[in-house]
Structure 1
C-alpha cells in the first residue's frame, strides 16, 4: 500500500489497532492523516486496513 503522507484518508479497519494509549476499532470509517495511516501499516501490517480512500 502506497500512502501519501500529505493527504487525508477515509479508512475502514479490519481489526482493532492500538496507537499509543488509543485503540482504533473497526466499527466505522475513520478519517485520518496519511502519516497516521502509514504508521499503522508499518506497525500492524497492511492486513489491518480493510480499505483506505483519499479525501
Structure 2
C-alpha cells in the first residue's frame, strides 16, 4: 500500500498497532487527528502497514 501524505495537511488516522514516536505512544483505539508530517514520520519509522487508513481532513 503506497500512502501519499502531504506534510502540510491534517489527517484522520487509524493505526493498525501501537506506535511509539519519541516519548509518546499512539494507540490504535480510535481515529487520531494528526499533521501530515507526523504521519510521514510514523510511516518512515514503522512502514506503511502500521496505518490502517489516513483520510485528509
- Same fold by TM-score greater than 0.5: yes
Is there any run of 5+ residues in structure 1 with no aligned partner, and where?
none
Q: 1:43 aligns with which of 34, 42, 45?
A: 45
Q: C-alpha separation between the residues in 1 aligned to 2:26 and 2:4?
A: 21
Is there any run of 5+ residues in structure 2 with no aligned partner, and where?
none
Q: Give 1:1-55 correspondences, 5 Å limit.
A: 1-55=3-57
TM-score (ref. length: structure 1): 0.98
Query: CA RMSD of the aligned region, Å?
Result: 0.4
Aligned residues: 55
Which stretches of structure 1, 4 residues or longer, exceed 4 Å deviation after superposition? none
